[in-house]
């Protein structure tokens, strides 16, 4: 979520669930070229991970193929945001499971192509 309240949704391919400093964490890798990356680094330091139900599963194709820079992916994918209980960012209605997360650590990845 941007500091002015603009929300975005993305399809996330790479993530792990584990523990860091005895805190349950979800580690997510987002490329710096992505709009979502700028929201995570320059916006509100929170995000949600939402596991879609069969009812909204088709939204993954839409949110994974468009950029939030120039489109409202919630509208295009017919997703309904729900106010978070623990975070300022929303969860997604009809998700099987939603994790509300706060960024506790950031690191840069090495470019393996070099």
Superfamily of domain 15-102: Electron Transport, Fmn-binding Protein; Chain A (2.30.110.10)
Please answer whether residues 9 and 79 qualify as being in contact, where contact means their C-beta atoms are separated by less than 8 angstroms.
yes
Beta bridge partner(s), residue 49: 99
The confidence score (pLDDT) of residue 21 equals: 85
In the chain, where the domains are located: 15-102
Give the residue from 38, 39, 56 showing the smallest Cα distance to 96. 56
Residue 97's pLDDT band, with cuts at 50, 70 and 90, is: very high
Q: Backbone phi, then psi, for 38, in 5-degree steps? A: -65, -35
Whole-prediction pTM value?
0.84
Q: What are the structure tokens assigned to 12, written together? A: 């996330």
| pLDDT of 31 above 90 | no
Rounded Cα distance between 5 and 95, Å, is 22
| pLDDT of 100 above 90 | yes
| Residue pointed to by tokens 């890798």 | 29
Average pLDDT over residues 90-102: 95
Residue 3's pLDDT band, with cuts at 50, 70 and 90, is: confident
Residue 112's pLDDT band, with cuts at 50, 70 and 90, is: low
The SS3 assignment for 15 reads strand
Q: Which span out of 13-22, 39-48, 77-86 was modeled with the highest average pLDDT?
A: 77-86
Q: Backbone phi, then psi, for 9, in 5-degree steps? A: -135, 145
Average pLDDT over residues 68-80: 92
| pLDDT of 114 above 70 | no
């Amino acid at each position: 979520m941007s500091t002015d309240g603009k929300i975005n949704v993305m399809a996330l391919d790479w993530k792990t669930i584990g523990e860091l400093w005895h805190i349950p964490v979800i580690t997510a890798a987002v490329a710096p070229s992505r709009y979502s990356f700028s929201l995570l680094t320059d916006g509100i330091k929170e995000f949600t991970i939402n596991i879609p139900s069969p009812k909204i599963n088709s939204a993954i194709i839409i949110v994974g193929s468009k950029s939030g820079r120039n489109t409202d992916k919630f509208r295009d994918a017919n997703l309904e945001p729900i106010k978070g209980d623990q975070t300022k960012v929303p969860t997604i209605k009809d998700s099987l499971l939603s994790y509300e997360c706060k960024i506790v650590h950031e690191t840069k990845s090495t470019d393996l192509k070099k």
